[in-house]
Structure 1
Amino acid sequence: MKKIAFLLVSFFICVTSFGVHAAPLSMAFDSDPASLDPHEQLSESTLQLSHLTFDPLLRWYQNGEIEPRLATRWEQKDDVTLRIYLRENVRFHTGNAFTANDVMFTIQRLKRSTDFRAMFDAISDVQKVDDFTVDVITHQTTPLLLNILTYVFPMDSLFYQGRDEIIKHGETFASKNISGTGPFVLKHRESGVRLDFTRFEDYWDKESKGNVDSIRMTPIRSDSTRLAALLSGDVDFIFPISPIDIPRIKRSSDIKFVGMPSTRILLLHMNQARRVEFRDQRVREAINLAINQSLIVRKILRGFSEAAGQLSVPQFLGHVPDIKPMYDLEKAKRLMIEAGYEEGFRISMMAPNNRYIQDERISQAIVAMLSKINISVDLKTLPKAQYFQEFDHRSADMMMIGWQSDTNDSNNLFEFLVACTDPNTGMGAYNASSYCNAQIDERIRAANIEMSSERRAKLLQEIERILVKESAVVPLLWQSLAWGAKKNIRIENIVNERNFPYIGDLVVE
């Protein structure tokens, strides 16, 4: 009888831990992470991997609030010191214990990362109070510090110590090895082919209802092939879904569709260092006026996005309601004549072909639109991994990029995309325009320390108005997100506008 009771208790514990039953999950995304190093590239696929294999100090709820993860609570000690209390009894995949040393190691490493440096430049120091308490000290008052800390995924300092070099697109220990505290352990990786994960048996979050015990993630570049894999039952969960295919997936009785707007802006950079023509504001304005954002959204994305005339989405403080897309082909032609380029000129353009929804078709449409003001475009599209190496080298006159604000705030867009490039601070790290305006940088710095929402909004909106007046970049659209899954996969509970699905919490019924 005791043996039977023991078995029943064991079964109950198993059911409670894995939420009814343990289940495998097969996922197909459009691409896989280029590296296992969480600090090598600030990208969506890197952050998706981080949420699988690491844990953040804090993370976003679906409603936009912040929830504690490896940080259990925090308190502001003074204007520049935030004390963070850490979760105890947490283990890394190596078996090493998680402590304050790992948080210190990680933040110091983030400050060395080319991609993350601008965000973490606000932090002057991180100090250990005891094994499970740290003080994060900023240079000045920092209104978005908690938002920034959602990007701290503590690394196993004992595992990485002495071999924590960060090289973009390089061959390093961290780019090929991984040890986090997250819900899944990476078991196999074949770049461009598949990644296999298993549930971490010693995962700290025993209250999670997630019951996925293994994952196979397969990159499938083609939208139609990815959807076919879901409809045939070969995979359980896919992202993204082409807008063309949304009606088809909605008609399927076996598949659920989840869509939502995101805060990601898709835009074009015009490289003024490469092209003298782009130094003329009239030419830049003509390019902005010649590109019909609303037509792109309507015809290519079937209305499943929103045409943009500025960088900031409506929910951001920097959004200016009266700035709209400004398509005006006749005015664009007049500006080209005024600038002395009635006959036009030829430029090079690069865009990804598997990073953003319909990115290749959007870039082809832009080529056709620019031809109407006699700008001939030599277009080259590349898979994501190769494209961003070319982007880092600013290899074309015009380049496409999408950016989701890391802090859910306008200023993150500005400091990465349009600030004067400064390798020491990381400002302008993704500014492929060589655009530089001291007035904008001054307002970026002011907004980063301004605690009043009203005054911050004014500063950020001033930046948007300057960008529009100078036609610094070409805003295209704010992207929408779409996922599909089998009916028994409860993805609606774990997807979010940032597209970091919390697979550790996923329930398969």
Structure 2
Amino acid sequence: MKKIFKSMAGMVLATTLAVGAQAATLKVAYDSDPVSLDPHEQLSGGTLQMSHLLFDPLVRWDQDMNFEPRLATKWERKDDLTMRFYLRKGVKFHSGNDFTAKDVKWTFDRLKSSPDYRAIFEPFADLKVVDDYTIDLVTRKPFPLVLNNATYIFPMDSVFYSGEDDKGQPKDRLVKHADTFASRNASGTGPYIVERRQQGVRTDYKRFAEYWDKQSPGNVKTITLTPIKEGPTRVAALLAGDVDFIFPVPPNDHDRINRSARSDLVTLPGTRLITLQLNQDRVEAFKDKRVRQAINYAINNEGIVERIMRGFATAAGQQGPKGYVGYVDELKPQFDLEKAKHLMKEAGYEDGFSITMLAPNNRYINDARIAQAAASMLARINIRVDLKTLPKAQYWPEFDLRSADIMLIGWHSDTEDSANFTEYLTACADEKTGWGQYNSGNYCNQVIDGMVRSANQETDMAKRAAILQDVERTLYEEAAYVPLHWQNLAWGAGKGVQAESVVNVMNFPYLGDLVVTQ
């Protein structure tokens, strides 16, 4: 098993191996693929993985969690509200159009209109074009996470997306789960272009001949992405040599890959939180804090980690994992079945009630099994669960509709910061700002939201951490949701696929830099 924590050794190795390496093909099998080619339609890991293939961000994280220049070559703070970015010159879009500041401005304005992304960019007042290759990001108030958020600006080709499509609709139309021009066509600056795509079946990528990053060690000319929902089938395809790179590797299949002479297992500690949300608008009992607390006490997080995740996860009692600024060491998982029963009796629900639960079955590691285990645990306090699991493509529309009483969702902080969990998962829903966009529990506490807004204006990082720790303590005491665990990451790679140099804790493999030696 290979564990990756630092980037320099991997990058040096990749660069060395690239010398003389022939152009390669890569067959990838993920558990699912993006629902759309539109990078702004859905804020999800699959969309961001795709964005790093077809587009480029202004800056990106490296494996040491530092910022790395991409379409922005450098940046400087001009005043408390303004960060200036200097853009890379000579960059072409896939269409052949030149990349300039106007494309960044157009993309920023579109992001501000996206239901999924607008919360990330709510702190920003404007993006000002200084000249063709200089922009200013201006915040409403002092904001400590400007560079974090800039990792989500993947400039789109404003000329390519202008005008109307053959259906008379604007090419830049942004609608979730709709057959739009942007969902079917892409023109970015990234290392690959889409040659062919059948959503849910196969996507073929080809190396962009005019890609700007000539220093990249990557030698993969073509990529074929095939979604394989079932973990054992995905692993079997890798071991048979039918695919070269897979994610995720289920914990119970790690040994199969480690024992194989034709594959390697690459692992990293994870920061994606898996949670259950309790819909207070659908279930009157969920408005009672004692019932929510009982559910938290009834679910054995550590048991799920041990038995279902085979120890390849960390049981959670809060949103942000250790290392995040809001982490509070004493907030542990709360499993206590007798206390759960006592709280249900105290709340007047000793005999329980019936609810519905929805979960995906191909989005997170062992997601369906986790939901099944949680449903069984709730039965012990007389909460009878009608559980249904769906493939990811069918699940997200139902999630957006809040179609069940309990829904499972995983979240990786978009800014590598504790506040982002609250902004999306537990904040009061606000269409204008995008806060609460993925809060299917409809939990709402204006005091907490005010605390997060205060933290987002605090540039003293010690004071900011103290505020976000208070947020975590309050959510814990309120039992606002059910934190289950932070899932670790495991990829499988065929021999010669130097995956360790391109994977990261965000699970956005930079395949444009991948070296394949055989």
Which of the numbers 272, 281, 288 marks the counterpart of 2:280? 272
Aligned partner of 2:160 in structure 1 is 159
Aligned residues: 495
The corresponding residue for 1:386 is 394
Does residue 494 of structure 2 align to residue 486 of structure 1?
Answer: yes
Q: Taking structure 1 as reference, are residues 324 and 19 closer, same or farther at Cα in structure 2, changes over 3 Å only?
A: farther
Does the CA contact (< 8 Å) of 1:210 and 1:503 recur in 2? Answer: yes
In structure 2, distance between residues paired with 1:266 and 1:188: 33
SS at match of 2:119: helix
Note the alpha carbon deviations across 1:269-318, whole angstroms, 9 max, x for none. 00000000001111000000000000000000100000001111001010
Residue segments in structure 1 that go unaligned for 5+ positions in a row: 1-14
Q: How far is the alpha carbon of 1:19 from its aligned partner? A: 5.3
Distance 1:92 1:17 in 2: 25
The answer to whether the 8 A contact 1:75-1:84 is kept is: yes
Matched to 2:491, the amino acid is: W
Q: Summarize the alignment of residues 225-244 of structure 1 with structure 2, pairs less than 5 Å apart.
A: 225-244=233-252
**Aligned counterpart in structure 2 of residue 309 of structure 1, from 313, 317, 320:** 317
Residue of 445, 448, 461 corresponding to 2:453: 445
3-state secondary structure, aligned to 2:27: strand
Q: For residues 238 and 402 of structure 1, what CA distance do their matches in structure 2 show?
A: 20
What is the aligned-residue RMSD (CA, Å)? 1.1
Amino acid at match of 2:79: D
Q: Secondary structure at the residue paired with 2:160?
A: helix
* SS of equivalent residue, structure 1 residue 297: helix
Contact 2:112 2:122 in 1 (8 A): yes
Q: Distance in 1 between matches of 2:231 and 2:18?
A: 35
- Whether the 8 Å contact between 1:226 and 1:238 is mirrored in structure 2 is yes
Structure-2 separation of matches of 1:165 and 1:268? 32
1:200 aligned to 2:208? yes
Give CA deviations for 1:448-483 in whole Å, capped at 9, x if unaligned. Answer: 110011110111001101101110100000011100
Which amino acid is the alignment partner of residue 95 of structure 1? Answer: G
- C-alpha contact 1:261 1:497 (8 A) present in aligned 2: yes
What does residue 31 of structure 2 align with?
A: 30
Read off the aligned partner of 2:244 and give its amino acid letter. D
Partner of 1:101: 102
**Residues 19 and 507 of structure 1 are in contact (CA less than 8 Å); yes or no, is this contact kept in structure 2?**
no
Q: Deviations over 1:239-277 (max 9, x none)?
A: 111111011111112110001111110001000000000
The alignment partner of 2:487 has SS state of strand
* 1:468 alignment partner AA: Y
Contact 1:348 1:379 in 2 (8 A): yes
Measured after TM superposition, the shift of residue 135 of structure 1 is 1.0
Is residue 209–residue 507 contact of structure 1 (8 Å, CA) maintained in 2?
A: yes
CA contact (8 A) 1:184 1:198 kept: yes
Alignment of 1:59-138 (within 5 A): 59-138=60-139
**Partner of 1:11 in structure 2?**
none
What percent identity do the matched residue pairs reach? 58
Q: Please state whether the residue corresponding to 1:120 is helix, strand or coil.
A: coil
3-state SS of paired residue (2:435) = coil
Kept in 1: contact 2:18–2:515 (CA 8 A): no
Q: Does 1:348 align with 2:349?
A: no
* Structure 2 CA distance for aligned equivalents of residues 128 and 248 of structure 1: 53
Letter of the 1:274 partner, please give it: R
Could you tell me how far apart the structure 2 residues matched to 1:28 and 1:442 are? 42
Q: Partners in 1 of 2:156 and 2:508 — Cα distance?
A: 19
Runs of 4+ in 1 over 6 A off after TM superposition: 15-18
1:191 is the counterpart of 2:205: no
Residue 418 of structure 2: which of 410, 413, 429 is its match? 410
For residue 479 of structure 2, the aligned residue among 460, 471, 476 is 471
1:257 paired residue number:
265
Measure, in 2, the Cα distance between the counterparts of 1:281 and 1:19.
63
Q: Secondary structure at the match of 1:185?
A: strand
| C-alpha spacing 1:269/1:16, structure 2 compared with 1 (3 Å) | closer
Under a length normalisation based on structure 2, what TM-score does the superposition of the two structures give? Answer: 0.95
1:21 maps to 22
Which residue of 2 is the match for residue 10 of structure 1? none
Tell me whether 1:370 sits opposite 2:378 in the alignment. yes
In the alignment, the residues of structure 1 paired with residue 326 and residue 494 of structure 2 have an alpha-carbon distance, to the nearest angstrom, of: 39
- SS for the counterpart of 2:512 is helix
Report what 1:44 is aligned to. 45
**Residue deviations 1:182-201 (CA, integer Å, cap 9, x gap):** 00111000111100011100
Q: Secondary structure at the match of 2:321?
A: coil
SS of 1:406's equivalent?
Answer: coil
In structure 2, runs of 5+ residues without a counterpart are: 1-15, 164-170
Structure 1 CA distance for aligned equivalents of residues 83 and 256 of structure 2: 50
- C-alpha deviation, 1:161, in angstroms: 2.0
Contact 1:17 1:207 in 2 (8 A): no
Could you tell me whether the CA contact under 8 Å between 1:93 and 1:179 is conserved in 2? yes
Deviation per residue, 1:148-203 (Å, 9 max, x gap):
00000000000012421110111211011100000011100011110001110000
| TM, length-normalised to structure 1 | 0.96
**Structure 1 stretch 315-324 or stretch 154-163: which is displaced more?**
154-163
Secondary structure at the aligned position of 2:210 is classed as coil
Whole-angstrom CA distance in 1 between matches of 2:125 and 2:172: 20
